[in-house]
Amino acid sequence: GNSVTQMEGPVTLSEEAFLTINCTYTATGYPSLFWYVQYPGEGLQLLLKATKADDKGSNKGFEATYRKETTSFHLEKGSVQVSDSAVYFCALSRLGETGGSYIPTFGRGTSLIVHP
Amino acid sequence: EPEVTQTPSHQVTQMGQEVILRCVPISNHLYFYWYRQILGQKVEFLVSFYNNEISEKSEIFDDQFSVERPDGSNFTLKIRSTKLEDSAMYFCASSRDGIPNSPLHFGNGTRLTVT
């Protein structure tokens, strides 16, 4: 079936460090891929997306490239800030069983903690 | 920017009771969803809703659960005869359309605690 696998957290970094959060997916066809972020006490919000192979999604200094050959969509940021502390979810969009709509499927989430 | 709102933010109920979780999706969105997240686990799909009917549901969404859009703005999840294992954060989401690259807009969630 369709699924995403994320690296286990928490990831703990110092401010200005380089961030990578790994995500690999299993899917039939070519799903759209997403990263969502959840700040404490809030719901998930879209961070970036990519809809086809070799697309790069980017937002707020974060970026991820859709790699079909490795079925990956790793999240990276060159210099993290304390305010980036949150839980990050990788997701893919799959067609539902009845074909009625596309359903985002989420990974377990990876907690990022950034220290000053 | 318009947002999805959920009420209440925290609901405590006794085992066996019925609860209704409420959501107001973004007004021009057509697809509505419920997800849940048990503490420390992944965000799980429960159900999607379009054109006043369920379009997809997961195996979690059994007869204990139901959804309704009672008017033009609210979208509710009813859980009958709650069990301890129903304790989780429940998220409502909406999207403008159901196409593959259309992102979901989530509410802040309702934390359900069953005692």
**Could you list the pLDDT tens digit for every one of the 115 residues in chain B?**
779 999 999 999 999 999 999 999 999 899 999 999 998 888 999 999 998 999 999 999 999 999 999 887 899 999 999 999 999 999 999 998 877 778 899 999 999 999 9
Cα–Cα distance, A99 to B63 (Å, whole number): 22
* Contact present, A91 and A25 (Cβ < 8 Å): no
Reported as a single tens digit per residue, the pLDDT across A16-35 is 999 999 999 998 878 899 99
Nearest to B101 by CA among A107, A93, A25, A90: A93
Q: Compute the distance between CA of residue A65 and CA of residue B2 in angstroms, rounded to an integer.
A: 29
Task: Kindly state the DSSP code that residue B103 receives in the 8-state scheme.
Answer: P
Select from B54, B58, B65, B88 the least CA-distant residue to A94: B58
Distance CA A26, CA B29 (A): 29
B45 at the A interface (CB within 8 A)? yes
Q: Chain B contacts of A34, Cβ < 8 Å? A: 103
Q: In angstroms, rounded to a whole number, what is the distance separating the alpha carbons of residues A62 and A80?
A: 9
User: Closest-CA residue in chain B for A34?
Assistant: B103
Query: For position A94, what pLDDT does the model report?
Result: 80
Average pLDDT, chain A: 92
Compute the average pLDDT of residues A59-85: 97
* Residue A39: both structure tokens together: 């700040």
Give the closest residue to B75 by CA, choosing from B58, B52, B95: B52
Q: Test B50 with A96 for CB contact under 8 angstroms.
A: no
Distance (Å) of CA A111 to CA A15, A40, A55, A60, B65: 15, 11, 25, 18, 30
* A38 band by pLDDT with thresholds 50, 70 and 90: very high
**Least CB-CB distance to B101: which of A36, A45, A93?**
A93
Q: How confident is the model at residue A42 (pLDDT cuts 50, 70, 90)?
A: confident
pLDDT band for A40, please (50, 70, 90 cuts): confident
**pLDDT at position B74:** 93
Any idea how long chain B is? 115
